[in-house]
């Protein structure tokens, strides 16, 4: 848990509401290392919780009235429970309200709340600040209201909340990464069985995340359109293959090659990305188990190329950084991370090379685009947690 961030939130909570917080939660952001858009196709992903996250402090109110205070944007929302519908504005509030709605679905919540939250994840950087808000909300409120929810169920609650209240048909990747992260390890997720394991990295590996500064909104971009094409492709394969197909996970690359010429060209390209990406994740896990970081990095470069050509969810800024990274001996691999259409590039490096590599990438980006590119060292970190505050009395 980010102690400095949590302490700041608790202090501001007291200043705003006049009472100390009863519970505090913290949920990290995530970086997607390999497995782009495979989660909602029932495929495989390698990801990592990171050392940047969202913290939340909550207290019960004496009525059904509730107040939600967002420190980072200095905005506040007042409403009454139960929460039934998303708000037209501000959009950020719906990530919290959606979770509150789902937590209260089984049994009405007995009272309102006072909540303060903030974070150090750059907004729209591809590091999943929205899922971190959802997970921090779910943990804090489930504890305050005495609702027992397992980690995987929390992830599903947050996913449904984002579908219904934010309008993004996201998979479970972001929430699972935030909940199941471990220090110096990647999270391997099978999104059909929902089996989750970790793959140790050791301390000789870290990641650089280069934020292009290109703002992306997954609702307004083409995230939902990409998902639609994947579903259409799965339906096509279900109609031509002699075995069950419920998602692109069920289609081999040989089968794709055999039937791609009969498909809608866009569906064919989108599905090629997913099918090949699943193979890359499985191969990548094997390479990591063998300590073959160079081989793993090459899979990252291949993944980005597929995002450019087949899934078309990259942009020039992302492509330039990856091209620059490939020329640097210190970078083993690089690719876009997250939904795409902007956001960040993730690069696999040795921690000893972090400063020099970051400076080189930043300088080249400045020369190319005439604007800075913020670069951060990201280390695989522990997952989300929640605690009762010392002053809390049940």
The per-residue DSSP string of 69-117 comes to: EETTTTEEEEEESSP-S--SS-THHHHHHHHHHHHTSSS--SS-EEEEE
> At residue 122, does pLDDT exceed 90?
no
CB 174 within 8 A of CB 216: no
Whether the CA torsion 8, 12, 13, 19 is positive or negative: it is: positive
> At residue 124, does pLDDT exceed 70?
no
List, by residue range, all CATH 3.30.70.890 domains of the chain: 206-378
Residue 219: pLDDT band (50, 70, 90) is: very low
- Specify the range with the lowest mean pLDDT, choosing from 115-119, 281-285, 341-345: 341-345
Note the pLDDT of residue 171: 78
If you write DSSP's letter for every residue of 127-166 in order, what string do you get? Answer: S-HHHHHHHHHHHHHHHHTT----HHHHHHHHHHHIIIII
What percent of the chain is helix, strand and coil (3-state, nearest 5)? 45, 20, 35
Q: Among this protein's residues, is 204 annotated catalytic?
A: no
Note the pLDDT of residue 168: 81
Q: Alpha-carbon distance 296 to 352, whole Å?
A: 19
Q: Alpha-carbon distance 195 to 211, whole Å?
A: 31
Q: What value does the mean pLDDT of the chain take? A: 93
Can you tell me the mean pLDDT for 64-93?
95
List, by residue range, all CATH 3.30.230.10 domains of the chain: 3-29+48-182+381-388
Residue 113: pLDDT band (50, 70, 90) is: very high
> At residue 216, does pLDDT exceed 80?
no
Give the β-pairing of 65-70 and 113-119.
parallel
Q: Alpha-carbon distance 384 to 96, whole Å?
A: 16
Report the C-alpha dihedral over residues 78, 82, 87, 93, rounded to 10 degrees. Answer: 60
**CA nearest neighbour of 143 among 83, 40, 59, 216:** 59
Q: Alpha-carbon distance 367 to 361, whole Å?
A: 10
Longest dimension (CA), the chain: 67
Q: Which of 174, 211, 267, 353 is catalytic?
A: 174
> At residue 394, does pLDDT exceed 80?
no
Right CATH number for 206-378 from 3.40.190.10, 3.20.20.70, 3.40.50.970, 3.30.70.890? 3.30.70.890
Can you tell me the mean pLDDT for 79-98?
94
Q: Alpha-carbon distance 267 to 287, whole Å?
A: 30
| pLDDT tens for each residue of 260-281 | 999 999 999 999 999 999 999 9
Note the pLDDT of residue 162: 93
Q: Provide the token pair at 26.
A: 């913290």
Q: Alpha-carbon distance 149 to 277, whole Å?
A: 32
> At residue 215, does pLDDT exceed 80?
no
Report the C-alpha dihedral over residues 380, 339, 121, 26, rounded to 10 degrees. Answer: -60
Is 3-29+48-182+381-388 in CATH node 3.40.309.10?
A: no
- Specify the range with the lowest mean pLDDT, choosing from 48-57, 221-230, 313-322: 221-230
Q: What is the pTM of this model?
A: 0.90
> At residue 67, does pLDDT exceed 60?
yes
Q: Alpha-carbon distance 136 to 117, whole Å?
A: 9
Q: Is the model more confident about 125 or about 236?
A: 236
Note the pLDDT of residue 264: 97
Note the pLDDT of residue 218: 54
Q: Alpha-carbon distance 249 to 279, whole Å?
A: 10
- Specify the range with the lowest mean pLDDT, choosing from 30-39, 73-82, 93-102, 120-129: 120-129
Q: Provide the token pair at 218.
A: 């997954």
Note the pLDDT of residue 1: 80
| pLDDT tens for each residue of 304-320 | 999 999 999 999 999 99
Q: What is the DSSP letter of 209?
A: E
| pLDDT tens for each residue of 331-351 | 999 999 888 888 889 999 999
Q: Provide the token pair at 267.
A: 């569906």
Percent of all residues in the chain with a pLDDT value above 70, rounded to a whole number: 97
Q: What region, left, alpha or beta, does residue 137 occupy, with left being phi > 0 and alpha being psi -120 to 50 degrees? A: alpha
């Amino acid at each position: 848990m980010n102690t400095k961030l949590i302490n700041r939130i608790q202090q501001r909570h007291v200043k705003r509401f006049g009472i100390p917080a009863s519970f505090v939660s913290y949920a990290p952001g995530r970086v997607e290392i390999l497995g782009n858009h495979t989660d909602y196709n029932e495929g495989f992903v390698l990801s990592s919780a990171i050392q940047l996250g969202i913290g939340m402090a909550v207290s019960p109110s004496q009525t059904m009235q509730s107040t939600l205070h967002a420190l980072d944007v200095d905005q506040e929302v007042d409403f009454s429970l139960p929460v039934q519908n998303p708000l037209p504005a501000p959009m950020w509030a719906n990530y919290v309200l959606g979770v509150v709605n789902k937590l209260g679905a089984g049994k009405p919540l007995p009272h309102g709340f006072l909540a303060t939250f903030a974070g150090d994840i750059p907004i729209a950087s591809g590091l999943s600040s929205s899922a971190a808000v959802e997970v921090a909300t779910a943990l804090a409120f489930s504890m305050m209201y005495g609702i027992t929810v397992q980690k995987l169920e929390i992830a599903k609650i947050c996913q449904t909340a984002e579908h219904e209240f934010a309008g993004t048909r996201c998979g479970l990747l972001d929430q699972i990464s935030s909940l199941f992260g471990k220090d110096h390890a990647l999270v391997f997720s099978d999104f059909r069985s929902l089996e989750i394991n970790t793959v140790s990295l050791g301390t000789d590996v870290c990641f650089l995340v280069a934020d292009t500064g290109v703002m992306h909104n997954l609702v307004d971009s083409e995230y939902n359109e990409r998902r639609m094409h994947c579903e259409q492709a799965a339906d096509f394969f279900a109609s031509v293959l002699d075995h069950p197909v419920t998602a692109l996970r069920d289609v081999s690359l040989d089968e794709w090659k055999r039937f791609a010429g009969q498909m809608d060209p866009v569906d064919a390209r989108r599905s090629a990305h997913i099918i090949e990406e699943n193979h890359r994740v499985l191969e990548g896990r094997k390479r990591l188990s063998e300590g073959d970081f160079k081989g793993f990095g090459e899979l990252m470069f291949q993944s980005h190329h597929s995002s450019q050509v087949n899934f078309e969810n990259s942009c020039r800024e992302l492509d330039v950084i990856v091209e620059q990274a490939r020329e640097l001996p210190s970078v083993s691999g690089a690719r876009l991370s997250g939904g795409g259409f902007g956001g960040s590039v993730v690069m696999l490096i040795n921690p000893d090379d972090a400063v020099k590599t970051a400076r080189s990438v930043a300088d080249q980006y400045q020369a190319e685009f005439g604007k800075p590119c913020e670069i951060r060292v990201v280390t695989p970190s522990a997952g989300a947690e929640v605690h009762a505050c010392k002053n809390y009395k049940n």
